Structure 1
Amino acid sequence: MKPLLPTSTAGSLPKPAWLAEPETLWSPWKLEGNELVSGKQDALRISLQEQQQAGVDIVSDGEQTRQHFVTTFIEHLSGVDFENRKTVTIRNRYEASVPTVVGPVSRQKPVFVEDAKFLRQQTNKPIKWALPGPMTMIDTLYDAHYQSREKLAWEFAKILNQEAKELEAAGVDIIQFDEPAFNVFFDDVNDWGIACLERAIEGLQCETAVHICYGYGIKANTDWKKTLGTEWRQYEAVFPKLQKSNIDIISLECHNSHVPVELLELIRGKKVMVGAIDVANNHIETPEEVAQTLRHALQYVDADKLYPCTNCGMAPLPRDVARGKLHALQAGTEIVRKELAKNDC
């Protein structure tokens, strides 16, 4: 049973320095072969322990076994050539060297299922597993085969559905699809992006979530945020259709952002993972700062549907900062739980 206001993280947590370069995305592994396999499992255990020590209610692997939230999944698929790389602009924001789709994409074997089974063995708490969403996947590739964003997205949706069903069978309680691209390509999201996401969750009995944020706390993202003005209304373009979708939970960025909190009214009735921790700086929030964000959200989200969370992944942060932020999330949530209990008396 989950408590009222169950806490979780949006995804990644920092890796130990002996496994990968700290505070770096796409950091190469420092171990090889069997040492890498056992090192990843050790890192997963540590990440889980830190979440549990902080009191996090819905735990995850902290993405310890993957270099990147999108490309690690893609590199296990056929039809994608990682040697033949092209430079593309990701989410209309920054350039990156990415692999090329050279033929029909398919999944030959499970990607994260063994890791999920390992996590399930380590804890009795509810676990959440993150997968990249179809639209964010196509935005992280150069397509030389399908030459259609929509066609490739539908193929990825089928593949993701295969993986998600096996993750559910492995004991995952919530499967989250990361779709930061939903904050950029609004017409595509409404025309076919949400439909693709629904194809990815087809037949699942576990809870499903879509995580839509403004990105990691890296310079390309923080610079982009400075161009968005005093009100960030991107969610307004996609929330109405998401509210009518089959997705159970919508995960969004809230704390320290310029997202008008009243936009949450557009997804009234959905469960909402409210980002109450800023991942774009090293300031560790006070419990009261977290509590205030949650109080604002409770004006538009019923208490039994509010899941306190982080704005995004924390992989680029120092480990002690991420650890402190986890404790702040839980402490701030506890303040609001007590307030709600008192009001019910």
Structure 2
Amino acid sequence: MSQWISSNLGYPRIGANREWKKALESFWAGKVSESDFLAELKGIRLGHLRLQQEKGINLIPVGDFSLYDHVLDTSTMFGIVPKRYGYEGGEVSLDTYYAMARGNDQAAASEMTKWFNTNYHYIVPELADANPSLTVNRPLHAYLEAKQELGIEGKPVLLGLYTFLKLSKGYANAELPSLVERFLPLYCEVLSELQQAGVQWVQIDEPSLVTDIPAEDWKQIERIYEELNKVAPELKIILQTYFEAVGDYEKVVSLPVQGIGLDLVHGGEANLEHLREYGFPEDKVLAAGLIDGRNIWRSDLTEHTQVIKELGKFVSPDRLIIQPSSSLLHTPVSLAKEDALLPVLRNSLAFAEEKLDEIQLLVNIAAEDENVIQEALAENRKALSELKTSVFRSNGTVREAVNNLDESSFVRKSDFSTRHAAQQKRFHLPILPTTTIGSFPQTAEVRKARRQWRNGQLDNQQYEAFVDEQTKEWIDIQEELGLDVLVHGEFERTDMVEFFGEKLGGFAFTAGGWVQSYGSRCVKPPIIFGDVVYQEPMTLRETVYAQSLTKKPVKGMLTGPVTILNWSFVRTDIPRSEVAYQIGLALREEVEALESAGIEMIQVDEPALREGLPLKKADHESYLTDSVKAFKLSTSSVNDTTQIHTHMCYCEFHDVIDSIEAMDADVISLETSRSHGELIENFKTQTYDKGIGLGVYDIHSPRVPSVEEMKEVVVSALDVLDPELFWINPDCGLKTRGKEETVAALRNMVAAAGEARNEIQVPSL
């Protein structure tokens, strides 16, 4: 039997020690020159390629590395730079590139949103008034670098034209054909130059092909690939899909390309059904995504071996590529530092490096000695079985609590109007009350103290005293600024999910399991590997202390069950909805503990609710129903006078507005400053009759907006929202900002609120 080909779709940029993140932040801080910065990134990039080469991967992706975001790379490659940045054509400078991502003193950053249903964020291309041109052939440069520096015959990666346009803003769908005609010659130029350079394989990523594709779009998709095939007939194109099964399977596999990449993990059963029903073209290669590119669990090699045998019915071994289900961008880099994990858990994990080993193991199965194969499969089965049968996955109390839930578990005691009246009487807030989302700057001093505490240099009493000192400082600052509802600042917390996972049973934490969220922002997702158990109060001490320092209300701050779920690596042996209910029950106990201690405003954040939305509309309802129920499970047992807040981050809110309302929170704040106008337009046709705050400034940028700028946001929102239900707040938490800019921005925000109150002339309540 011929040996199958191994391939990878993309590798984590950040480096095993987050070298990439540190390099970016040093450059932004002016600590290194541009030339030194680029040289350092080149070293990181080549190191990643060398590792894949050493692992034996046959088709190594090149061009997947980025200075910030691969969608932004595509925009700047084609000169898609909004006029506000002063761009005048040619190759885009680093200053302009990072201004688009982060903003600068002259212009706000471009909108950022979720990459499909992942926790990665991309910079949204703005096509209004676009005049595309090829400024630089990035895939070609990446290919030549790998070949010249390492002798690697790389596989250039390019974001497909259809997906690029569908991810963009600033045009109506009726304009899609004209946009295709404007961009298609540029894509043809890229591929033509790759062909001339001797490239053999190119990976064109089209994840949008797994979504619900409008029938009229297919003419454009077919036009794109017919033209690309015509201009570069010697180039072998793999049309790569991932994150779900393709819906229009017969149309996808009929496109004039040499290979089709299918995700056989997420949506895998549907893709297999397509293969069983329709077969696979004899003139194409099947790139089978068998290794999970989005989760950290070790693969079931026995199961995958059976799948490969079934694939043999449709393709011969010389037309089969074994690869991950998606780019490994979404996984941590290596298990090398994870010796502190329980052996039963560590033996069940595979990060990016280990996933490369799994790919090669599957590829070698056909050629290996039968005894070696059986030994590898037996070891794999043993590791997976030990976790499955462990005590961590058999908590009878938790399982019974979930099984005993009924409709009353998900319903507040009274409707919103009754609660709103009771809360207004309780809190006596002014019209347009001001607050923040939760966190305040995590300064070097805060990070140092936490590090010293974790290292044993500070004991618990010393660390708590430090946290209290920081809390008091920021309570005083909030009082001086004139904010109406305060927060304690979250100085004891590293990450909004990690903090809670560390205090709940069923979670585990890695030493180096970092993944990129956006730009240089990296997160270390918890691992939900067992049944989730509430063990003790998690936020009570700090919140009660903060409330003792002021007569103004202080919000208790929790992370919601769906966000904890979506921002964790989640066990796969039970339905995700069951895990969400387990988390919801645990948070319910914390909410009740806060309420009993006199904390009567409690914010349960769900920034990740929308990002978990399935990519196919047919699956939306069940996900949203389960998500809303999990949130309500955690918040519905409180009294009418206890005000429940929630917060959501960048997403297409119009997709989930009905579910947001069904969550029945008393106040919701939405992260919208980069796309505020679009949301206001949505509210002209969709009503929302509960408390709401639209972020009035972007916290992801160091820029401090003026009073007038923020007031304009408020005034425009009040054209479509009830002023008696409207709150004023920043876009998101302020953890990543500096103290000086935070105080300046909040001062302007409070001033903007005051001016808006005077102008609308609604008396304080």
Shorter-chain TM-score range = 0.7 to 0.9
Deviation at 1:189, TM superposition (A): 4.9
Contact 1:82 1:99 in 2 (8 A): yes
**Corresponding residue for 1:331?**
751
Q: 1:282 to 1:97 in 2, by over 3 A?
A: closer
Q: 1:118 to 1:97 in 2, by over 3 A?
A: closer
Q: Give 2:607's aligned amino acid.
A: P
**Corresponding residue for 2:660?**
242
Task: Choose between structure 1 and 2 for higher RCO, CA contacts under 8 A separated by at least 6 residues.
Answer: 1
Provide Cα deviations, 1:228-254, integer angstroms capped at 9, x if missing partner.
xxxx7x100111222244211111023
Q: Give 1:154's aligned amino acid.
A: Y
Contact 1:85 1:99 in 2 (8 A): no
Q: Name whichever structure is richer in helix by fraction.
A: 2
1:92-103 matched pairs, under 5 angstroms: 96-103=523-530
Structure 2 CA distance, aligned partners of 1:283 and 1:48?
23
Structure 2 CA distance, aligned partners of 1:275 and 1:291?
12
Q: 1:284 to 1:255 in 2, by over 3 A?
A: same
Contact 1:116 1:170 in 2 (8 A): no
Provide Cα deviations, 1:134-159, integer angstroms capped at 9, x if missing partner.
11101232233754321111110111
Q: 1:13 to 1:96 in 2, by over 3 A?
A: closer
1:29 corresponds, among 434, 445, 451, to 451
Provide Cα deviations, 1:185-223, integer angstroms capped at 9, x if missing partner.
232652311111111112112111220112xxxxxxxxx
1:207 corresponds, among 625, 633, 643, to 643
Ranges in structure 1 where 5+ consecutive residues have no aligned partner: 22-26, 215-231
1:121-136 matched pairs, under 5 angstroms: 121-136=548-563
* Bigger radius of gyration: 2
Structure 1 CA distance, aligned partners of 2:762 and 2:587?
43
Contact 1:120 1:170 in 2 (8 A): no
Say yes or no: does 1:320 pair with 2:740: yes
Deviation at 1:71, TM superposition (A): 0.9
1:162-241 matched pairs, under 5 angstroms: 162-186=589-613, 187=620, 189-205=623-639, 206-214=642-650, 234-241=652-659
Contact 1:14 1:316 in 2 (8 A): yes
Provide Cα deviations, 1:101-157, integer angstroms capped at 9, x if missing partner.
232211111001111111111110011122111111012322337543211111101
Contact 1:70 1:131 in 2 (8 A): no
Contact 2:566 2:612 in 1 (8 A): no
Cα RMSD of the aligned pairs, angstroms, is 2.5
Contact 2:648 2:670 in 1 (8 A): yes
1:7-18 matched pairs, under 5 angstroms: 7-18=434-445
**Corresponding residue for 1:309?**
729
Deviation at 1:90, TM superposition (A): 6.4
Q: Give 2:667's aligned amino acid.
A: I
Q: Give 1:260's aligned amino acid.
A: L
Number of equivalent positions: 320
Deviation at 1:306, TM superposition (A): 0.4
Deviation at 1:296, TM superposition (A): 0.9
Deviation at 1:83, TM superposition (A): 4.6
Deviation at 1:55, TM superposition (A): 0.8
Contact 1:44 1:65 in 2 (8 A): no
Q: Percent identity?
A: 23
Q: Give 2:605's aligned amino acid.
A: D
Q: Give 2:625's aligned amino acid.
A: D
Ranges in structure 2 where 5+ consecutive residues have no aligned partner: 1-427, 614-619
**Corresponding residue for 2:469?**
42
Deviation at 1:255, TM superposition (A): 2.6
Q: 1:184 to 1:83 in 2, by over 3 A?
A: closer
**Corresponding residue for 1:293?**
713
Could you tell which deviates more after superposition, 170-179 or 3-12? 170-179
**Corresponding residue for 1:218?**
none
Structure 2 CA distance, aligned partners of 1:343 and 1:76?
44
**Corresponding residue for 2:669?**
251
Q: 1:267 to 1:159 in 2, by over 3 A?
A: farther
Deviation at 1:98, TM superposition (A): 3.1
Contact 2:433 2:484 in 1 (8 A): yes
**Corresponding residue for 1:144?**
571
Provide Cα deviations, 1:161-206, integer angstroms capped at 9, x if missing partner.
1101111222223211221212312326523111111111121121
Structure 2 CA distance, aligned partners of 1:208 and 1:30?
35
**Corresponding residue for 2:700?**
280
1:108 corresponds, among 525, 535, 553, to 535
Contact 2:734 2:742 in 1 (8 A): yes
Could you tell which deviates more after superposition, 152-161 or 182-191? 182-191
Structure 2 CA distance, aligned partners of 1:86 and 1:98?
7
- Structure 1 stretches of 4+ moved >6 Å: 87-91
**Corresponding residue for 1:80?**
507
Q: Name whichever structure is richer in strand by fraction.
A: 1
Deviation at 1:52, TM superposition (A): 1.2
Contact 2:442 2:736 in 1 (8 A): no
Q: Give 2:700's aligned amino acid.
A: A
Structure 2 CA distance, aligned partners of 1:71 and 1:208?
22
SS at match of 2:675: coil
SS at match of 2:451: coil
SS at match of 1:280: coil
Q: 1:113 to 1:97 in 2, by over 3 A?
A: closer
SS at match of 1:101: strand
Provide Cα deviations, 1:240-292, integer angstroms capped at 9, x if missing partner.
22224421111102334354312235342111022112102111111111111
**Corresponding residue for 1:222?**
none
**Corresponding residue for 1:270?**
690
Q: 1:95 to 1:139 in 2, by over 3 A?
A: farther
Structure 2 CA distance, aligned partners of 1:81 and 1:278?
33
Q: 1:175 to 1:189 in 2, by over 3 A?
A: farther
1:67 corresponds, among 494, 513, 516, to 494
Q: 1:88 to 1:18 in 2, by over 3 A?
A: closer
2:584 corresponds, among 137, 142, 157, to 157
Structure 2 CA distance, aligned partners of 1:209 and 1:118?
20
